[in-house]
Structure 1
Amino acid sequence: MASEDFNLEKLEKLFAKCKDGDLILMDAYVDAYEELSKLFSILGSVFGFVTSDVVEKIGILREYRNSEVSEKYITIQSMIEHEVETKTTNSKKKASGARTLLRLHRALEFTARLMMDLNTADDHEKMSHITKTAYDDTLAHHHPWLIRKGVHVAVYTLPTRKHFLEKLKMDDAEKAKDLLAKVSDYQKEIFVITENIYTKEKLHDLP
């Protein structure tokens, strides 16, 4: 994982490349997620477990893209179609692309909501409240009670929205709002398309 700082402008450009019509391009998605994973690090130890999980999942998807069946993994749609046809979505030998992506997909709903709320909140709003609300409405649904409680306690170490944006090195408030809105919208579009695929193929309960 690159040690360079999280860059909101870079993230916006990367997510803008993810869609080709309604197709979601795997390489662009993974590249965007690699940048997004740095945001979890900025959120601190509270989301350390998410960061490590995301990094692992990115690695698995890159392996599929470098494998002998790489052409089956060019888009999210082609990946799911291939794994449904070959009955490998619930493979015991190796984590399937569908199972791997599902974890990233769930976290994407959280970051889309977090960025939307960051955009609309005022400078003095506490990040603890913004983050807890976004988490409770999205990612918390997929976590056991112990993790949920841990997140609720840990978010109180987060600074105000203003200080958090400074951590993102966003000095221009209006530019920050514009980028946050765009990134959130891109993520929501990708989430909805992916959500519909998982619903259609009944893949939401992959272990």
Structure 2
Amino acid sequence: MAATGAEHFDLQKLYHLYALTKADEGLVEMDPYIALFDELTKLFKLLGSVFGFIVSDVVEKVGILQEYRKSDDNYKTVQGMLDFEVDKKMTNTKHKPSAARTLLRLHRALAFVSDFMKEIQAAEEGSKLSSIAAASYDRTLAKHHPWIVRKGVHLAVYTLPTRKHLLEKMKVENCKKTEELLGKVAESGKKIFDVVEDLYTKHGLHNLP
């Protein structure tokens, strides 16, 4: 894959950041977790204006988590963050979005990304991303959105490029290796999602407003 500057989406870098979270060890380190969403915003930008609302939301949430991370070592891991905020009864504060609430929104987005990448990897070269994205959205993020948002997403995804055009935008040099890497990234993302999902279930935090 060719590097073309700071705004170039780097699938290999994303895979590396996934590994740094240490999800395989049952941990989720906050620094690489936050950084991987910085990388994912580049992917969303490649997909066009349809994902503009996701980009702005991710950027806002990443900024909030970065501030928490700088201020307190209790935010070094997702486990530590949730234990701390639950103990201090901070998860549903009104004056400032808690880290638990903020990360929950990113967590839901990661479910979509992992599903989407898995489907891109399995799709044919000329497949339309519109149908792939709509199906991935319905399986993941849609359950958290009201009807009007779901309807808007289904209309907007028709502007997405084909699978072939997306890989061209990613400046892929070796399609076979990229397809293999997409599968690995999807699998790694699912592992991270599962660890965090279990933590939110343990603390009963899935319905934070």
Would you say the 8 A contact 2:47–2:161 is kept in 1? no
Would you say the 8 A contact 1:7–1:35 is kept in 2? yes
- 2:84 alignment counterpart: 82
- Find 2:154's aligned residue among 152, 155, 166: 152
What do residues 48-82 of structure 1 show as CA deviations (whole Å, max 9, x unaligned)?
11110000000000000111xx2100000000000
- 2:32 alignment counterpart: 28
* Two-structure CA RMSD over aligned residues (Å): 1.2
- 1:173 alignment counterpart: 175
2 CA distance for matches of 1:37 and 1:199? Answer: 27
1 CA distance for matches of 2:107 and 2:85? Answer: 17
SS at structure 2 position matched to 1:204: coil
1 CA distance for matches of 2:7 and 2:117? Answer: 21
2 CA distance for matches of 1:47 and 1:201? Answer: 31
- Describe how 1:109-188 pairs up with structure 2 within 5 A: 109-188=111-190
2 CA distance for matches of 1:40 and 1:147? Answer: 18
1:48 corresponds to 2:52: yes
> Across the two proteins, how many residue pairs are aligned to each other?
204
What do residues 79-130 of structure 1 show as CA deviations (whole Å, max 9, x unaligned)?
0000000000001121101000000000000000000000000101111111
Task: Note the C-alpha offset of 1:171.
Answer: 2.9
1 CA distance for matches of 2:113 and 2:172? Answer: 17
Letter of the 1:154 partner, please give it.
A
What do residues 180-207 of structure 1 show as CA deviations (whole Å, max 9, x unaligned)?
0111111100000100111111101100
- 1:15 alignment counterpart: 18
1:38 corresponds to 2:42: yes
Which protein has greater RCO, CA pairs closer than 8 Å, 6+ apart? 2
2 CA distance for matches of 1:161 and 1:4? Answer: 20
Deviation larger for 2-11 or 149-158: 2-11
Identity %: 54
Task: Note the C-alpha offset of 1:150.
Answer: 1.1
Letter of the 2:138 partner, please give it.
D
2 CA distance for matches of 1:103 and 1:3? Answer: 25
TM-score, normalised via structure 2 length: 0.95
1 CA distance for matches of 2:142 and 2:181? Answer: 26
Letter of the 2:79 partner, please give it.
Q
- Describe how 1:188-203 pairs up with structure 2 within 5 A: 188-203=190-205
2 CA distance for matches of 1:183 and 1:149? Answer: 29
Return 5+ residue gaps in structure 1 as ranges: none
2 CA distance for matches of 1:95 and 1:147? Answer: 22
- 1:103 alignment counterpart: 105
Return 5+ residue gaps in structure 2 as ranges: none
TM-score, normalised via structure 1 length: 0.95
1 CA distance for matches of 2:154 and 2:170? Answer: 22
Would you say the 8 A contact 1:46–1:150 is kept in 2? no
